[in-house]
Amino acid sequence: MHRILLRRLTLLPAFLLTVAAADRVTLVTTGLPGNLPATVLVGRASLTSGKTLDVPAGTYTVTPRPVASGAQVYVAAPTRLTVRTAATLRVAYTRLPPGSADPFFGTGGTLDVPVNTLDVFDTWLLTNSGDNTPFMSTTGSNMGEMRAVLVRPDGRRLGSMINVTTPQRTLDWAYLPTPLIPDRDGYLMGLSGQTNTLVRFTAQGTLDPAWKTPSQPGVLRGLLRLPEGGVLAYGGGQGRAQLFRFTAAGQPDAAFGLGGTLELPAPESGLVHAARVLKDGRVRLLVTSPRTAQLLDLSPDGALTPAGPTVTLPYSAQQSELSNSRLVNAVILPDGSALIGTSDVTEQRSRVVRLTPDGQLDAQFRAVDVIGATTVAGVLPDLQGRVLAVFQLADLRGSVLIRYRADGTPDPTFGKGGRVTVDRETVQGLALTPNGQILLASHVMDFPNTETAKLRLRRLLSE
């Protein structure tokens, strides 16, 4: 029997009998902080720093995996390795500069989320807010419903398409949502037409049928959770800035203003642009007209106290009603100061300004005009107190993200001279991840084929 088996083996092709000797490869890395481990692929085999791997003799492509250390990411270039004897593989890592695409997100820092169930493409809106709340992709409908898709910042879509029954529309086929805010295990959103209401989504991205907020006049721009548990909605209508206060269950608070609504007597064409609860419990408001801004404080009984004078802005903080509903171009900071994105569409220039906590234009914030920008689509502080702002460029040329230092000058460590440009895409959303990475959101599609519609998320490194 053994002789027969040996004869058969001698008849097999020679390559089946050839076994390459295995040699030991050790990975040593440089450029990483501390003893941070790294992993590379030698061919298809995985090798971790400080470890060894038996590799058959031959030539291999070595592909280093990126390494994260907090908000910082380190990378190394692919290389070739020829194994003849035992060898030490040395891989040099370098830190990606701030503003680089995050290699741990999507493909090369970009993730496309299909939203092609939104089959009516009359008006696209995209809103986002803090607290790790979802982005929202919406489109109008001629059937009395707004179709919406919720997408988490990690790109995970919540549920399927949602049909939201809307108030009577304000513009042709346009329904105006606010950014979402957390609500227990779900989210609240303001929705406006010729009247407004609040709707609630569950954590799974479905409408909460038990939530019933009656409609009332006015257009909502944003929502704020109050310390006592109620909700303050803010915006404007009929040329006046307005506030709306609701109970925790979504009913108008009859103790506030007139039936839950408070109309500010000034300014003309006013808009409550942003709101925030300060550390001492005061509610700080930013009220704008087309060329002015003022900080006000709101007491629990509805009394308004100026926190500073009315100041003149270099350009307008307001735009069309549709844009006002979706652009988060102003924010109140924890100390009561405010950042405001202003624009002149005709002159094609935009600028971010800062108000001090006492409502004065901050002369120490020296940001200059961004030429060719028609809109400030988003502005917010990062975790280190620097200022991020997204500008939409004229003629659909794209968008630019600028990071400013505390004095309003571009941060030279970020991108190219403080800027990251997104060519031929109109960025409509700006947000931060919990560890401070930067998220940009836009819609892309092969017009007019709505089946190709995607919500595109880009994640950039902050450190």
Of the candidates 217, 125, 128, the residue with the CA atom closest to the CA atom of residue 179: 128
Of the candidates 169, 135, 163, the residue with the CA atom closest to the CA atom of residue 150: 135
Kindly report the backbone phi and psi dihedral angles of residue 362, in degrees, each rounded to the nearest multiple of 5, phi listed first. Answer: -85, 105
- Asked whether the predicted pLDDT for residue 100 surpasses 70, the reply is yes
**What tokens does 138 get?**
């919406």
Is residue 231 included in any domain, yes or no?
no
**To which residue do tokens 């009394």 refer?**
303
Cα separation, 97 vs 94, in Å, equals 9
Give kind and range of the element (H or E) at residue 402.
strand 398-404
- Asked whether the predicted pLDDT for residue 246 surpasses 70, the reply is yes
Is residue 258 included in any domain, yes or no?
no
Number of residues that this document lists for the chain = 463
- Residues 10, 68 within the same domain: yes
> Domain ends where: 58, 77, 95?
95
Of the candidates 277, 279, 242, the residue with the CA atom closest to the CA atom of residue 263: 242
- Residues 36, 104 within the same domain: no
pLDDT tens-digit profile of 127-173?
A: 555 667 888 777 555 455 677 788 888 888 888 777 776 665 554 44
Is residue 87 included in any domain, yes or no?
yes
Domain hosting 39: range is: 2-95
- Residues 353, 391 within the same domain: yes
Of the candidates 47, 83, 51, the residue with the CA atom closest to the CA atom of residue 63: 47
**What tokens does 158 get?**
């919540």
Kindly report the backbone phi and psi dihedral angles of residue 394, in degrees, each rounded to the nearest multiple of 5, phi listed first. Answer: -65, 160
DSSP secondary structure, 126-169, as one string: EE--STTPPEEEEE--TTSEEEEEEE-TTS-EEEEEEEEE-PSP
Structure letter (DSSP) for residue 121 = -
**What tokens does 105 get?**
């997100």
- Residues 354, 428 within the same domain: yes
Q: Provide the pairing of β-strand 219-225 with 231-237.
A: antiparallel
pTM above 0.85, yes or no: yes
Whichever domain contains 7, its CATH number is 2.60.40
Pick the residue with more confidence: 395 or 166? Answer: 395
Asked if 311 and 295 count as a contact pair (C-beta separation under 8 A), the reply is no
Pick the residue with more confidence: 262 or 168? Answer: 262
CA atoms within 13 A on the CB side of 35: 1
Q: Provide the pairing of β-strand 22-30 with 87-92.
A: parallel
Q: Let me know if 371 is exposed, middle or buried by CB neighbors in 10 A (0-12, 13-18, 19+).
A: exposed
Asked if 120 and 147 count as a contact pair (C-beta separation under 8 A), the reply is yes
pLDDT band at 450 (very low <50, low <70, confident <90, very high): low
Give every CB contact of residue 378 below 8 A, 6+ residues apart in sequence: 327, 328, 329, 341, 388, 389, 390, 427, 429, 430
Give pLDDT, residue 121.
Answer: 46
- Residues 8, 103 within the same domain: no
Give kind and range of the element (H or E) at residue 358.
none
Give pLDDT, residue 170.
Answer: 52
Of the candidates 406, 403, 405, 422, the residue with the CA atom closest to the CA atom of residue 414: 403
pLDDT tens-digit profile of 20-67?
A: 456 899 999 999 998 899 999 999 999 999 899 998 989 999 999 999
Number of domains in the chain: 2
- Residues 340, 420 within the same domain: yes
Pick the residue with more confidence: 290 or 333? Answer: 333
